[in-house]
Copies of this chain bind each other. A is one copy, B any other.
Amino acid sequence: RIKASGLKLRFCTNETQATREQFVRKLQGFGFDISVDEVTAPAPAACRILRERGLRPHLLVHDDLIPEFAGIDRTNPNCVVLGDAADNFTYANLNEAFRVLIGLENPVLISLGRGRYYKETDGLKLDVGAYMKALEYACDVQAEVVGKPAKRFFESALAELGVQPQEAVMVGDDIENDVGGAQRCGMRAVQVRTGKYR
């Protein structure tokens, strides 16, 4: 209905356990009319930052997310990109990412979100934010967070739509990530009472 009205539409997700392709297929399965180029997600936003600043990432992310980084030079890394790596959060992988980071003259840590934890069918899990804090502390750095509620993340979505903040409305169920983030970016925002709302 939004599309039929002629309004421009964009989907902003913090999903970092899957590519946009997988994410879109899931939503299509729920009956949504959505395509990959309508999605703003942390990984492609990170790729834009990497390209702009000539950064070559060491990736500590979910296996299913790696295709999003195709075409990004990952040799001789000069930064670390951290996502919700789930089972890839092993002791060995964390130490490896730490060693890359601490070995850099100017350590750059890009985190695809700052969530504390989330719930899966088999229980609560530590989210990317917890591991971000571990690396921040060990290396005495501050991570650059990509994804909601980061301002630059909303700015990317606006740029992709070709509209100004005051012309846009954010709709989401998360008071901080969706509503707060969008408002700090100069957008209006609406919280829906579905999803995680309570």
Q: Would you list which residues of chain A between 58 and 112 have a CB under 8 Å from chain B?
A: 86-87, 89-91, 94-95, 98-99, 102
A residues contacting B by CB (< 8 A) are 86-87, 89-91, 94-95, 98-99, 102, 116-117, 123-127, 129-131, 133-140
Contact B95 A125 (CB under 8 A): yes
**Interface majority SS on A: helix, strand, loop or mixed?**
helix
Give the number of copies in the complex.
2
B116 adjacent to A137 (CB under 8 Å): yes
CA distance A90 to B138 in the complex (A): 18
Return the contact of A129 from the options B94, B102, B129, B138 (Cβ within 8 A).
B138
> Would you call B116 and A99 a contact (CB within 8 A)?
no
Chain B residues with CB under 8 A of A123: 95, 99
Partner of A116 from B90, B94, B138 at Cβ < 8 Å: B138
The answer, among B90, B94, B127, B136, for a CB contact under 8 Å with A133, is B136
